[in-house]
C-alpha cells in the first residue's frame, strides 16, 4: 500500500521515541503511516521474539498501517550498497511522500551516537536517492519521496520545524511503554534511583520543544534542504499571542 509517512528506526522503540507523537497526529489527520525497524534489537535485554511482540503492541496503539523489520543486525548496520538496495526496495514498495530517520551527524558513542543510529541516517539518505533511479538493481518501480527529515537532533542544534503533539502525548507514552525489555532488565529488580526514567526524560524534552512554540508537548525535526513555502502566513496561522 502507499504511505504518506514512513519512519525508519534503528531498533524497535527508536521510531516511537523520535516520532511517536508525530505518527499519532498524522494518523489523526487522515494520513497513512508506517515504521521500518532496521534491526530486531537483539543485543538488548529482550529476545528478538519478545521485541517483535512489543513492536506489534506499539504498532496497534500508534494505529500504523505498516510495520516491517529489515533485520540488518543490532550494532551491525552498515552503509553498504546491498543495504541501500534493501532500504530503497522498501521505499519503492510503500511509496511514501515523507521519510523520517535519525540524524546522521551525531557524536559517536553510546546514546544518540550509537552506530545503528547514525548509520541508519546515512543509509536512508542514500536509499532515498537510489530508490528513484531507474537503472538501480532494486525491486519495484522507481519512486522519489518528496522529503527526508531527521529526528534525534544533537544537543545545541536548532530544529527546522516543531510539531505540536500535545493531544497525543499520553498515547505516545503508552506506545513507548510497550517496549518493556528495552528499558529495564526483566531478570533484575528495578533499581531505586533519582535519575529520571526514559518516559520522564522524553516527556521533559517534549515540554522543552513545546515551550518554544507555545504548546504543552512537541517533537522537533531537522531538514537539510530548504522548505518550500507558498504562503508564509501558513507559518504563523496557528500561533496564539503569549499572555
Percent helix / strand / coil, the chain, rounded to 5: 40, 15, 45
pLDDT, residue 44, reads 83
Per the structure, the count of domains in the chain is 1
In a domain, residue 73? The reply is: yes
Residue 182, all three cell numbers: 528495552
Domain range for 68 is 5-235
In a domain, residue 129? The reply is: yes
Euclidean distance between the first and the last CA atom of the chain, given in angstroms as a whole number: 46
Ranges of the chain with pLDDT below 50? none
Q: What is the CATH number of the domain that holds 14?
A: 3.40.50.10320
In a domain, residue 206? The reply is: yes
Q: Determine the Cα–Cα distance for residues 28 and 16; give it in Å rounded to an integer.
A: 16
- Number of DSSP helices (H) and strands (E) in the chain, helices first: 7, 7
In a domain, residue 68? The reply is: yes
In a domain, residue 181? The reply is: yes
pLDDT, residue 108, reads 80
In a domain, residue 216? The reply is: yes
Q: Determine the Cα–Cα distance for residues 101 and 7; give it in Å rounded to an integer.
A: 6
In a domain, residue 178? The reply is: yes
Helix (H) or strand (E) holding 68: strand 66-69
- Helix ranges (DSSP H) in the chain: 14-28, 48-62, 81-94, 115-130, 169-177, 180-183, 198-213
pLDDT, residue 199, reads 82
In a domain, residue 115? The reply is: yes
pLDDT, residue 46, reads 84
- Note the pLDDT tens digit of each residue in 151-195: 999 988 999 999 999 999 999 999 999 998 887 766 666 666 555
pLDDT, residue 198, reads 79
pLDDT, residue 155, reads 84
pLDDT, residue 192, reads 60
Amino acid at each position: 500500500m502507499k504511505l504518506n509517512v514512513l519512519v525508519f528506526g534503528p531498533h524497535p522503540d527508536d521510531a516511537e521515541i523520535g516520532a511517536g507523537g508525530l505518527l499519532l497526529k498524522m494518523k489523526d489527520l487522515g494520513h497513512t503511516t508506517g515504521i521500518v525497524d532496521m534491526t530486531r534489537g537483539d543485543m538488548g535485554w529482550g529476545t528478538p521474539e519478545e521485541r517483535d511482540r512489543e513492536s506489534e503492541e506499539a504498532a496497534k496503539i500508534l494505529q500504523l498501517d505498516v510495520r516491517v523489520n529489515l533485520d540488518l543486525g543490532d550494532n551491525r548496520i552498515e552503509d553498504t550498497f546491498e543495504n541501500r538496495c534493501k532500504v530503497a526496495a522498501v521505499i519503492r514498495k510503500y511509496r511514501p511522500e515523507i521519510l523520517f530517520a535519525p540524524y546522521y551527524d551525531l557524536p559517536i558513542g553510546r546514546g544518540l551516537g550509537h552506530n545503528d543510529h547514525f548509520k541508519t541516517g546515512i543509509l536512508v539518505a542514500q536509499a532515498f536517492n537510489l530508490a528513484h533511479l531507474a537503472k538501480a538493481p532494486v525491486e519495484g518501480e522507481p519512486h522519489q519521496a518528496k522529503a527526508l527529515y531527521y529526528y534525534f537532533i544533537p544537543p545545541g542544534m536548532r530544529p527546522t520545524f516543531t510539531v505540536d503533539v500535545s493531544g497525543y502525548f499520553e498515547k505516545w507514552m503508552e506506545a513507548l511503554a510497550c517496549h518493556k525489555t528495552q528499558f529495564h532488565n526483566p531478570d533484575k529488580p528495578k533499581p531505586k534511583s533519582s535519575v529520571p526514567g526514559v518516559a520522564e526524560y522524553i516527556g521533559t524534552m517534549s515540554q522543552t520543544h513545546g515551550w518554544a512554540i507555545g504548546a504543552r508537548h512537541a517533537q522537533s525535526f531537522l531538514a537539510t534542504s530548504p522548505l518550500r513555502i507558498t504562503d508564509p502566513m501558513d507559518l504563523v496561522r496557528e500561533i496564539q499571542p503569549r499572555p
